[in-house]
Structure 1
């Protein structure tokens, strides 16, 4: 296994928690997400203790429990009413806080929303996309707009576009 963090698995991902945590951020990078809705819910903690928490449901990600610190951060961005937070972007980052005398990882919300990073595209999916570009069933522009392509992938896309135009 390679030493890069991309190929390593954080142990917390194996226990499938119901809520997003700092462990879920790729290589400790910021993650910009969209709030679907926010509501008060009963949450069961790791010791089986139940408590009512404010929970932000995120599009395409696990929900996030909003503590007071994070709720204040969203308030500063979008106002005090949770109904106004739906459809809004927030940028998450990993931090640490003291809990029961111990420093633990936590999620925090940046005071400004950062632009979303385009995802990388896996080699097999890229190869299929190139064939679709050559066949005229997928626009090259859409591929480059949706994904963060490597210089080699950009070159291959340019060649595929040229082949399609010559056909």
Structure 2
């Protein structure tokens, strides 16, 4: 029996390492570093040894760790020693960069230890936080989930209000 697939096709390809397609839209992937290793990586130059992060969450593939991400982890935990990174949580997000004349998605690590329930607005990029309006407090998770169901993406309170106004103007 076949299984219907949805989402980015790259998730379903035989990939050995974590990619931008493995990160949820509008959110961070929070993972715990089990250990840092040097693995063989196949690229356009052939096989190379690269630094990789292996995670305690075994359902996730290892991540190739470039200099930018290594510096971010080092800053988050105030240590350049990879053994100090073991058992530390990192927040991995999807970024867009221009390299070699092309725009492409990549993985980036936030420069601070993550909060486990932190979500980011897909419109403005800010952390979605609790919001109080008309004497009522709306929790960040509820704001994000409500926006996801209404607009198809995680939005902060302000961006959700703007999306609602735009939707009403089009009606």
Give yes or no for TM over 0.5.
yes
Please state how far the C-alpha of 1:16 moved relative to its aligned partner.
Answer: 2.5
What is the CA RMSD across the aligned residues, in angstroms?
2.2
Please state how far the C-alpha of 1:99 moved relative to its aligned partner.
Answer: 2.4
The answer (yes or no) to whether the contact 1:42–1:52 under 8 Å persists in 2 is yes
Match of 2:96 in 1: 96
Bigger radius of gyration = 1
Match of 1:165 in 2: none
Q: Does 1:53 align with 2:55?
A: no
Normalized per residue, the structure richer in helix is: 1
Separation in structure 2 between the aligned mates of residue 36 and residue 103 of structure 1, nearest angstrom: 31
- Give the match's secondary structure for 1:62: coil
Please state how far the C-alpha of 1:115 moved relative to its aligned partner.
Answer: 2.0
Tell me the alpha carbon deviations over residues 64-102 of structure 1, each in whole angstroms, 9 at most, x when there is no partner.
Answer: 000010011111122011111111010011001122210
Aligned length: 113
Q: TM-score, normalised by structure 1?
A: 0.62
Q: TM-score, normalised by structure 2?
A: 0.60
Please state how far the C-alpha of 1:48 moved relative to its aligned partner.
Answer: 7.1
The answer (yes or no) to whether the contact 1:32–1:113 under 8 Å persists in 2 is no
Q: Does 1:63 align with 2:62?
A: yes
Structure 2: where are the runs of 5+ without partners?
119-141, 146-171
Please state how far the C-alpha of 1:117 moved relative to its aligned partner.
Answer: 3.5
The answer (yes or no) to whether the contact 2:72–2:112 under 8 Å persists in 1 is no
